[in-house]
Amino acid sequence: MHNAAKPNPLIELSITLIIPSIILMKLSGSEDLGTVNALLLALAFPLFWGVRSLLRERKVNVLAVLGLVSILLTGGIGLLQLETYWLAVKEAAIPGVIGLVVVISAFTSRPLVRVLLFNPTLMNVELIEENLHQRGNEVNFEARLKVTTWMLGGSFLFSSAMNYFLATLIVNSPAGTPAFNEELGRMTLLSYPVIALPSMLIMIGVFYYLSRTIHQLAGLKLTEAIKH
């Protein structure tokens, strides 16, 4: 039995985040779907994609879950007509908690960078550790891994701060109104160039630092360290 082909990431992103954002922006007016119906329709897209992935691939689709949770929380704030302050808190909370967990893990025996980046799926861990042992650089490497973990945590904390700033800057209308939903959609769309791109650049910097560390301490080129 053949595994189902992996879906295009752009299609996944469109269905789970971009299309729901456009629905919130354009269809929330009373002359269109209305606030509640627009939120329900927006929720339907990541929900459909998540169920589809679960049935076809027998695994949870992370993007679908993130899209569903984000829209559900946002919709809850709109339907309950909570102050927009809580939207900013919600936007900052998820990456903020992840960032704190990553940073705290640097003080444990198993920093999360081992799980996220330095793992057997991505790296030739056995070869790297063997070369580190031969060169006597194991302790130095562990110290560098902690620095890498702090950098990784910093990328999530940066995202958290930018999410809060963007939410407070853009979303000012009372919750539950069409203007509120339109501002939500605009905020979500702007979050990609304003937050996702810088965060991606930080992640690339983290990976570069890790690959440079492996080259310096284990004597391996990036092509040798990465699994093909």
User: Tell me: the pLDDT tens digits for 11-53?
Assistant: 777 888 778 877 876 776 667 787 778 888 888 998 898 888 8
**Same domain? 216 vs 142:** yes
Structural domain count of the chain: 2
Half-sphere exposure of 177 (CA within 13 A, CB side): 10
Does position 2 have pLDDT exceeding 60, yes or no? no
175 and 36 Cβ atoms separated by less than 8 Å: no
Tens of pLDDT along 101-136?
788 888 877 777 877 778 787 888 899 999 999 999
Residues 43 and 150 in one domain: no
217 is a domain residue: yes
- In this predicted structure, the answer to whether residue 75 has a pLDDT above a threshold of 80 is no
What pLDDT, on the 0 to 100 scale, is given for residue 30?
67
Mean pLDDT of the chain, nearest integer: 81
Both 54 and 130 in one domain: the answer is no
Asked whether residue 91 falls in the same domain as residue 32, the answer is no
The share of the chain scoring above pLDDT 70, in percent, equals 89
Tell me which of 34, 57, 80 is where a domain ends: 80
Counting Cα atoms < 13 Å in the Cβ hemisphere of 16 gives 22
Instruction: Clarify whether residues 50 and 87 are in a common domain.
Output: no
User: Within this chain, do residues 143 and 224 fall inside the same structural domain, yes or no?
Assistant: yes
Assess whether 147 and 223 both reside in one domain. Answer: yes
- Inside any domain, residue 2: no
Please report which confidence band the pLDDT of residue 214 belongs to, taking 50, 70 and 90 as the band edges: very high
> What is the structure's pLDDT at 8?
64
What is the SS3 assignment for 137? coil
Q: Is residue 1 part of a domain?
A: no
Of the three residues 80, 106, 121, the one that is the final residue of a domain is 80
Rounded to 10 degrees, the C-alpha dihedral 61/64/69/72 comes to -150
pLDDT band with cut points at 50, 70 and 90 for residue 1: very low
Q: Are residues 76 and 89 in the same domain?
A: no
Residues 168, 122 share a domain: yes
Are 46 and 158 members of one domain?
no
Looking at the fold, whether 103 and 166 belong to one and the same domain comes out as yes
Q: Which of 50, 80, 110 is the last residue of a domain?
A: 80
Query: Which residues constitute the domain of residue 18?
Result: 7-80
On whether residue 159 sits in a domain, the answer given is: yes
Tell me the HSE value of 154 on the side-chain side, using a 13 A CA sphere. 13
Decide if 203 is inside a domain: yes
CA of residue 167 relative to chain centroid, distance? 17
- Whether residue 88 has pLDDT greater than 60: yes
The helix or strand, by DSSP H or E, that contains position 87, with its residue range, turns out to be helix 84-105
Same structural domain, 60 and 149: no
